[in-house]
């Protein structure tokens, strides 16, 4: 049962969202308050976990059609839709209450808006158009902004908007490569994908998007989001991305993109 709940919550993804929010909090140039830092991490992680649970309830029929997802607890029958929805609802309430305990309305609105957007806009649209992916990526770009605002920063500050923009750009090629790896399963489930294979019409989009990601990431040291000393090891990783794309080393490119959010968070850590 414990394993089923961990799979329901997609705990790795939830923790990644929490770490991204914590990174945004720590980026703000002010004294760190432990309670607020834990709120950024814990509240965002709980919302991500709750959103994952409700997403699996909504997509259980589709998940059964794909080898990659058919063992998810709701699709596989380990948890009933009602149990999963109840767990997701409790986690979302806990996350919103935690984020709201600091009397800061903007992070709460951002977090709530991201959750509604993910469940009410992205999840229904992903079965209809491959263009749903950029819309869904908006949700993944918000955790650093949530943490920054919890620390007292303005949501319009160019530094955190730059970080959020990089996180937005990162998600697209990452999920394109994931879809490419499981493209036959996506077709079985009738999920439209953006085909970026070598001879496909959309193949040029991958190098263009990765180049945009690398270019945006290189602005981080320029605007002092990343210190010069940390830029020395962050920039080689960034410059490696277009090289791997040009070589069409998709497996290595996917692995490098998987590491990117963690290395970005470590780079902006004070």
Residue 112 has what pLDDT? Answer: 94
Q: Which residues of 176-210 are buried (b: 16+ CB within 10 A; e: fewer)?
A: bbbbbebeebbeebebbbbbbeeeeeeeebbbebb
Distance CA 167, CA 185 (A): 27
Check pLDDT > 80 for residue 202. Answer: no
Report the half-sphere exposure of 135 (CA within 13 A, side-chain side). 18
Dump pLDDT digits (tens) for 148-164. Answer: 999 999 999 999 999 99
Taking phi over 0 as left and psi of -120 to 50 as alpha, with beta for the rest, 195 belongs to beta
Dump pLDDT digits (tens) for 15-52. Answer: 989 999 999 999 999 888 999 999 999 999 999 999 99
Check pLDDT > 90 for residue 232. Answer: no
Read off the pLDDT band of 59 (50, 70, 90): very high
Dump pLDDT digits (tens) for 246-269. Answer: 988 889 999 999 889 888 888 887
Task: Flag the least confident range among 4-18, 36-50, 84-98.
Answer: 4-18
Report the share of the chain in percent with pLDDT over 70: 99
| Cα 186 to the center of its chain, rounded Å | 20
Distance CA 214, CA 236 (A): 10
Check pLDDT > 90 for residue 194. Answer: no
Q: Can you tell me whether residue 18 is helix, strand or coil?
A: helix
Domains in the chain, CATH or no CATH each: 2-268 (1.10.357.140)
């Amino acid at each position: 049962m414990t394993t089923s709940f961990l799979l329901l919550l997609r705990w790795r993804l939830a923790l990644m969202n929490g770490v991204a929010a914590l990174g945004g909090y720590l980026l703000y140039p002010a004294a760190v308050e432990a309670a607020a830092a834990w709120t950024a991490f814990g509240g965002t992680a709980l919302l991500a976990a709750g959103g994952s649970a409700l997403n699996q309830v909504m997509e259980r029929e589709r998940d059964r059609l794909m080898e990659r997802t058919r063992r998810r607890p709701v699709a596989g029958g380990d948890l009933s839709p009602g149990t999963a929805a109840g767990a997701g609802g409790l986690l979302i309430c806990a996350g919103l209450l935690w984020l709201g305990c600091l009397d800061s309305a903007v992070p709460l609105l951002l977090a709530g808006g991201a959750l509604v957007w993910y469940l009410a806009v992205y999840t229904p649209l992903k079965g209809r158009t491959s263009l749903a992916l950029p819309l869904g990526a908006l949700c993944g770009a918000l955790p650093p902004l949530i943490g920054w605002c919890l620390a007292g920063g303005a949501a319009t500050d160019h530094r955190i908007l730059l970080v959020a923009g990089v996180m937005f750009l990162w998600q697209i090629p990452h999920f394109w490569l994931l879809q490419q790896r499981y493209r036959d399963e996506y077709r079985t489930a009738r999920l439209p994908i953006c085909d970026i294979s070598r001879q496909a019409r959309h193949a040029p989009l991958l190098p263009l998007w990765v180049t945009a990601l690398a270019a945006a990431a290189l602005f981080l040291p320029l605007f002092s989001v990343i210190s010069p000393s940390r830029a020395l090891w962050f920039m080689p990783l960034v410059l490696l991305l277009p090289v791997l794309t040009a070589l069409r080393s998709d497996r290595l490119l996917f692995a490098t993109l998987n590491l990117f959010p963690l290395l970005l968070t470590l780079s902006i850590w004070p």
